[in-house]
Structure 1
């Protein structure tokens, strides 16, 4: 990229537009090649999210599928200083280029407490199977002190504002696909967790079945998250470079108190 080291606002905007398109293409083409299929060409008549649907599924999405995909991308596009976004801004603050910053963000998705949450949520729903089993299953897991994915949030203490929209998409999809078990399972889990632990659901709980009902392999949940969140990452990098200061938080030492050194010489040799 001839603009690699140009951190001006205009150059970063141009690179952001290219990155948003390229990340989606990397995901779709990489997935198809890994499964022995040829990559599909872009469809300029579709939205970015609609094109991703087409290139992964191999079928042109209907209008309602495009609308759902667009909504999912909007819900996931940005969410202030989450782990991946903060990683991107820290990297950008060193005046590293936008590609390095987005690479840092992607690396943060490797951890299951951030990037893999919706994929693990789907495994949980697969294990529960029916709404009738949800309450007992959850109580058993809580008794075992197990980590329950799809609940709690470092920012939202009274509920994730993205959940109602994702829940409605799920209900609509359940009717359209005949897979009407998933959302009632989520709702039962939500009710039980609120009662037992006073924890609210976050968007990952409902995103998991939504993406499954749209026909995506659960292994694509995190890549689809990245395809939507890259817009937010890029926006943060642009903002950081526009008014940059090196991000260098202070640390608070919590170890042992100072100790004397019983070395054999003044220089500790």
Structure 2
């Protein structure tokens, strides 16, 4: 097998109008709009609308979309009861995945397969996922679940439900920018998982549940948690150079450095680095300084040892940013999901309703069999009594 094709790397599997990535030049485009322009001028609500509908909204369209999101924030009481019955040690991403599946139980028109029904489900999921993440964090800490705000932005509502007190305007702006940055990234692992499930004609909740599961892995959405663990292990800026050199000499990876697509700095990383620097300075902590030194030390080591240059990705600075904001480390990946649900939903809808026919075309990749081969007729079956003990490795 061609090594470049392992993991479907460089294999074109579908067309999309949602997102474009220029890995050579570090450009990320949502529906034709540069991510840096959206960060500067837009909001998460407006960006979510853009991803779902393909165009920026008018003032009245944005008002209506925001109203629909606000009205859908509440969590069904039985779902909250189920949260309270879960072991407090349950992982937030596992809790979120099961809750997304459970939301299907409350969709009274689950058999409706129209595009309009899928848009409604997308709005439901965009609105409720932040509430679920916040509710679980409070339940596991023995706190009461906070009712959502009846008005206020998506970012403000999440921080309020998480903490039980209204956040500052500065914190809301930072969170809003983070949500925009993480909202979409073309055919990454979790998005492809959602589209693959959509191709079977499964409903939206099943697609998004699968995407949440894919996002939970440390090589995808879980990477920013690993970054923060790295920063905590380093502990002091003075330890960075020695720690990085030791890790790379032993063949280890520096989490938050390098990307499957970008051959230069991930454009999201530059924005997050600026925000992390501002928050660290405000909180008077060391986390931005350690992170920035990790970036410099890694680049220096790769250059001195004539290895291929690697650059920071979205996870490197988001870890220190969220930690400085007082957000529990294991909520980093759920926050990723709070944002990425906008992109996931857009992709599910595109997979199901794109112009090209027939849709969906069931994904069915081909594998190369490299297992036991006993001849053209296969292996001869040996009865149980005649089999010899063999040592198996797991």
Please give the range of the TM-score, normalised by the shorter of the 2 chains.
Answer: over 0.9
Structure 1 contact 57–216 (Cα < 8 Å) conserved? no
Moved more, 64-73 or 122-131: 122-131
Match of 1:246 in 2: 362
| Alignment correspondent of 1:214 | 325
Alignment of 1:24-39 (within 5 A): 24-39=130-145
Question: Paired residue for 2:124?
Answer: 18
Deviates more, 1:25-34 or 1:143-152: 143-152
2:228 to 122, 129, 154: 122
SS of structure 2 residue aligned to 1:201: coil
Is 1:183 matched up with 2:288? yes
> Structure 1 residue 255: deviation in Å?
5.3
Task: Give the corresponding residue for 2:300.
Answer: 195
How many Å apart are 1:264 and its aligned residue? 7.3
Structure 1 residues 253-262 or 131-140, which shifts more? Answer: 253-262
Per the alignment, in what secondary structure is the counterpart of residue 44 of structure 1? coil
| Separation of aligned partners in 2, 1:138 and 1:30 | 35
CA distance in 2, matches of 1:151, 1:257: 41
- Give the 3-state SS of the residue equivalent to 1:78 in structure 2: coil
TM-score (norm: length of structure 2): 0.64
Q: CA deviation at 1:200?
A: 0.8
- Aligned partner (choices 138, 154, 158) of residue 244 of structure 2: 138
**Residues 1:100 and 1:184: Cα distance change in structure 2 (over 3 Å):** same
Q: Note the C-alpha offset of 1:116.
A: 1.2
Q: Paired residue for 1:236?
A: 347
Q: Distance in 2 between matches of 1:264 and 1:215?
A: 62
Asked if 1 retains the 8 angstrom alpha-carbon contact of 2:216 and 2:333, the reply is no
1:45 Cα shift? Answer: 2.8
- 1:224 pairs, out of 332, 335, 347, with 335
Q: What root-mean-square deviation, in Å, do the aligned CA atoms of Structure 1 and Structure 2 show?
A: 1.9
Q: Does 1:110 align with 2:221?
A: no
Cα–Cα, structure 1 residues 93 and 178, in superposed 2: closer, same or farther, change >3 Å?
same
TM-score by length of 1: 0.92
In the alignment, structure 2 segments of 5+ residues that lack a partner are: 1-106, 303-308, 382-394
Give the counterpart of 2:205 among 99, 109, 128: 99
2:374 & 2:202 partners in 1: Cα distance? 37
Give the whole-Å Cα distance in 1 for the aligned partners of 2:113 and 2:268: 33
Higher relative contact order (CA 8 A, sep 6+): 1
| CA–CA distance in structure 2, aligned partners of residues 26 and 172 of structure 1 | 29
Q: In structure 1, list runs of 5 or more residues that go unmatched.
A: none
Give the SS at the match of 1:55: helix
2:276 aligns with 170
Helix, strand or coil: the match of 1:162?
helix
Asked whether the equivalents of residues 279 and 321 of structure 2 are also in contact (C-alpha less than 8 Å), the reply is: yes
Cα offsets for 1:19-43 (capped at 9, x unmatched): 1111111111111111100011111
1:66 aligns with 2:172: yes
Shift in CA distance, 261/69, structure 1 to aligned 2, threshold 3 Å:
same
